[in-house]
Amino acid sequence: MKINLIEKNIKKIKSDIEIIIVNSCDNLKDKVILDTLGFEAKDESVILLAESKKIYVGCEDNDYDSVAIAIASALKKFQSTKFKSVKINLENLSLKAIVEGSILGTYKFDKYKSKKEKNKKQELNICVDKITNKIENTLNESIIIAKAVNKTRDMVNTTPEDFYPQIMSNIAKDIAEDSNLQCKIRGEEYLDNNGMHSMLSVGRASRHESKLIHLAYKPKNAKKKVVLVGKGLTYDSGGLSLKPADFMVSMKSDKGGGCTVLGIMSTVEKLKLPIEVHGIVGAVENMIGGDAYKPDDVLTAKNGKTIEVRNTDAEGRLVLADCLCYAQDEIKNIDYLFDFATLTGACVVGVGEYTTAVMGNNTNLKRNIVANALDSGEYATSLPFNRFLRKAIKSDIADICNMANTRYGGAITAGIFLENFIYDEYKQKWAHFDIAGPAYVEKPWGYNPYGATGAGVRMAIEFLKNIEKK
């Protein structure tokens, strides 16, 4: 859908229909008929009055999320009609919420449909009093960010037969070419030669070679250096600790963290961020076979730490362990080191399926991340480490165990496991994002569709945009 900014009084804009966002039904011109139809000024309440050529949509607040949900609901209704154009008065609404809600809320993934809906040539006209540089910049920035989220959704939604480590590498190369990024792709020989046997073991039984992806954006006079690491499990069967059949469905989503990193990296050059950003993804498929790694194996990670395998379905942390070590060995003087992963079902139980859990040692950093997440339109909260849960991942035969000896606090013990692969100089600069809940949800919510949501992209970009203030 084309989005236009128009510097005119809304009454002078020629559009087929108008969207009216309502937070109170009092004093509305069409109040009587709206009351008759049961319309309320609540989220996702929407009524099309074709004769009046108006779409009324409820909005419970004036914050980003409420406005984005409202515009998404209205545009879905608009798309169900044969009207070509729709207009809305910006007034005191957030332009960012209008633009991102429009693009994210009208997303469709129909790659595997035999009969695809034809794309209608429809447009949204946003009426503003005056088009300033700030308004134009907000429009362009919001379009870039929303398209990156939808790109991430496309990757996560793609089936494992069509999306394996080599494909993920090819997409990374395309992003690098499109955005003038440096790109390195490392195969299993590199992993073996560089002591990355934790990651190497996870993909050993797959017919698809594991890949380490490294993208880099290096502008001149960069003010900060940020490294983003993503778990790219293109499919997770659970390995020999095989998942129950029902739990294997939707495991194409286990590449969500890696796809989030690729989505973020697709924006950094377009947004002209004055910081150096590296994106590192461990692209691996966890399968079963005669060469599969096994419970009771002891693996050696890149930093020399040994890991007792108790469960081959706790594989994402094994991939991230080596990727985090690689990042710290290859890139010097890092200011922030973040990892993104659909890591634990325990996180979904703990904070719900819509919220990202942020973990780490630096309380102020975690608060900053959560604040930026909320400003971006994503839900996030922090979870605390503690000395007692550290004991839960001790091993009697190796340095550390990949599964805790308790079922409680599983999201936190996974985060503590990763901390073992963070070097002392980066302990206060590192944060772990568990996006297991919001990355893939099997029902629509707000402006998010069934399936992949692109969780993590907006919150990370918001943090990067504001990094000079930190």
C-alpha to C-alpha distance for 350 and 356, rounded to whole angstroms: 10
Q: Any idea which residues carry the catalytic annotation? A: 243, 317
Name the token pair of 248: 């294997």
DSSP readout, 13-24? Answer: S--SEEEEEES-
- Of the candidates 10, 12, 8, 38, the one whose C-alpha atom is nearest the C-alpha of residue 25 is 38
Query: What would the 3-class secondary structure string for 220-256 be?
Result: CCCCCEEEEEEEEEEEECCCCCCCCHHHHCCHHHHHH
Burial label for 280, CB within 10 Å (0-12, 13-18, 19+), is buried
Please name the helix (run of DSSP H) or strand (run of DSSP E) that holds residue 8, with its range, or none: none
C-alpha to C-alpha distance for 465 and 227, rounded to whole angstroms: 15
Beta bridge partners of 430: 337
In the block, which residue shows the tokens 């909260």? 381
Q: Which residues contact 73 (CB under 8 A, 6 or more apart)?
A: 43, 44, 45, 46, 57, 105
- Of the candidates 351, 356, 315, the one whose C-alpha atom is nearest the C-alpha of residue 338 is 356
C-alpha to C-alpha distance for 197 and 166, rounded to whole angstroms: 19
Phi, psi dihedrals of residue 241, rounded to the nearest 5°: -85, 65
